[in-house]
Amino acid sequence: MIVTPAVRDYLDATRPAADPLLAEMQAHGARERIPILDAQSGALLHVLAHAIGARRIVEVGTAIGVSTLQLARALPADGELVSYEIDPGRHAAAQAYLERDGLGARVDLRLQDARAGLAELDGPFDLAFLDGVKAEYEEYLDLVVPLLRPGGLVAVDNVLMSGTVAENRSDGHWTDEQIATARAFNERLLHHPQLVATIAPVGDGIALAARR
């Protein structure tokens, strides 16, 4: 937890309740121990996509589509979201959920390693969301920055890893190696010459960076 319990409770109590489909997806994630986006982070991404008028979004790590749903719902009817996932079962589940929400035409879910997919993707994109394997974040970043329009946003999840990144100490879940990798990644992102960046202590820590 990276905010106080009182703040967390307040945010949970005041956030509008998830609609039935999103609640079903969140329950699916919890039941099968699939790492899905924290509710507060999902709301933040949804607001940001709206705020920048995103029309094209790219995502690394669809899982069962929780973050995909919240991003895609902010798109206009002719908008597009490309999302990569390497697990066939999760990819299929996400496809089914997004079709139930009427978002099938707006989302292009690809069962492919994002590193290969991003390398052949044509920009520009308004927003990129990185949420795959943490050790691969640097590779994703190098591939998405050239795809962003000037002013385009890249959001990266889990950059504080339950607070362990700040404490620089494993909690038994996040390992010392993962923490060291995250600290190096954050340092690089915050000083990236093509980005203006910050870290928001929301959810598990979300880095937000805009292309200069």
Ligand X SMILES: C[S@@+](CC[C@H](N)C(=O)[O-])C[C@H]1O[C@@H](n2cnc3c(N)ncnc32)[C@H](O)[C@@H]1O
Q: How far is the CB of 6 from ligand X (least distance, A)?
A: 25
Q: How far is the CB of 198 from ligand X (least distance, A)?
A: 20
Q: How far is the CB of 69 from ligand X (least distance, A)?
A: 8
Give the interface with ligand X as residue ranges (CB under 6 A): 35-37, 60-61, 63, 66-67, 84-87, 90, 113-115, 131-133, 136
Of the pair 60, 145, the CB lying nearest ligand X is at: 60
Strand partners, 208: 155, 198
Of the pair 132, 205, the CB lying nearest ligand X is at: 132
**C-alpha 19: how far from its chain's center?**
20
Of the pair 85, 126, the CB lying nearest ligand X is at: 85
Residue 20 vs residues 25, 43, 50: alpha-carbon distances, Å = 9, 16, 22
Of the pair 47, 196, the CB lying nearest ligand X is at: 47
Q: How far is the CB of 85 from ligand X (least distance, A)?
A: 5
* Strands ordered across the beta sheet of 80-85: 107-111, 80-85, 56-60, 125-130, 148-157, 206-211, 195-200
Hey, how many other C-beta atoms are within 10 angstroms of the C-beta on 78? Answer: 8
